[in-house]
Chain A
Amino acid sequence: MKLVSFAVGRSTCVQQRSRTMEGETVKLISAEGFEFVIDKKAAMVSQTIRNMLTSPGGFAESQLGQVTFPEISTPILEKICQYFYWSLDYASGKETEFHIEPEITLELMMAANYLHT
């Protein structure tokens, strides 16, 4: 199964942003195979992803510009992408709430620990 992120209705905001912002993009792939194309800058909010993309020696991720997360499900990865953009805005002074639905909290926490976010 291969779907491009903007085909998923809920993630349009992500796609819109990536269109407006200049620069490189990376592809994050969920356990189910959903692909999220987001700005590299946003992805680098995660320390783990930053290492994956910048570590010397040419790992597969930095060569292809895509990272697969076999242990993160699509909704969680989507939420994470939203968080990346929210975090960038927050860092640049736009103080809004980031809403987290209670039922995904636990899984999100696990992913955050993994991604060192």
Chain B
Amino acid sequence: MARTERRRRPGLWKSVFFLLVGLGSAVVALRFTRGLAAVTNLSDRFPWGLWIGFDVMCGVGLAAGGFTITTVVYIFDVKRFKPIVRPTILTAFLGYLLVVAALLLDLGRPWNLWRPLVFWNPRSVMFEVAWCVTLYTTVLFLEFSSLIFERLGWRRALVVQQALTLPLVIAGALLSTLHQSSLGSLYLIVPGKLHALWYTPLLPVLFFLSAIAVGLAMVIVESRLSSRAFGARLEMPLLSEVGRVLVAALGVYGVARVYDLVHRHALGLASGASLEALLFRLEFLGGVLLPLALLAVPAVRANIRWLYASALLVVMGFVTNRLNVAITGFEAAQGQRYVPAWSELAVTLMLVAIGFAAFGLAVRHLAVYPKEETHVAHPGLRAVA
């Protein structure tokens, strides 16, 4: 397939990439010589900003397709999803690497990152997240390694890697369940600070359910982008089915979210013109109910543009939700507004750009979309769907 040729205006994207990396690197240099204050709007009232709220909280969630798709394919034996396993694992692996990179920039003393592995505090959610993210990134690397072994022609390593598939997939599912939910548990300790539209004892459950939904939405988004950028084959019937599973996942999350708000008598807070109410409505009406209504229509799921738009809405809703928990929800209690500095945004954009570039590089050099396999799978897949 003519991959590189089909990419649109490669020159423009290359300049955008180098501009973002140049700008981001300059900010990173400043951050390590002059401290966090030089490049961020963080304060004692807002110790966590964009890098935690977006890069870490959203990064981990958006990479959730990695464990859901591998579990569906290898544990539930749904073979027709196999063509999307590799790109999904690649997305997840790169996603986690970027999360770790963002964390290294945000931590005051990043050279101490290894310490939770030695100094234990099992009562800390952050300790658990540190362990899970470390182990799961390792799992993702091992799952991803088969692509490298193939490329290098290391047959024996491939055999060993394949023998480890089941334990790796089970470990990945368990570790992901733990830390996807734990990112929500991080906020359980601040009942007095986080706005009642977001503070709930169900935070871990809601974080887990929304991560599953957004992981699926990302599979659709990523397939569409890959097909446009690299000319990868668009597995349309398969993506339609992912859309159908997404309806179920989003539905379960939506019901849990509303049930929780009603149960805590907090639904009333969603009306009115406060910033919290407006951003909640953006998150829930625009990012859950609207895509749910769209995706429930079979014609929407059958049309790549509509499917893509609906998946983008889910991603938007998810990102809004995480930013609401991490930032909006604290503003009232902290009596202060946090808006990221341009330099914080520059670093985030750099990381996103690196993610896209690394994905492109991997597609060019590794069998992310194995040609033979997709061609063989395709006719059979039509018959099934």
Question: Are A and B genuine complex partners?
Answer: no
Binding site for A on B (CB under 8 A): none
Chain A contacts to B: CB under 8 angstroms: none
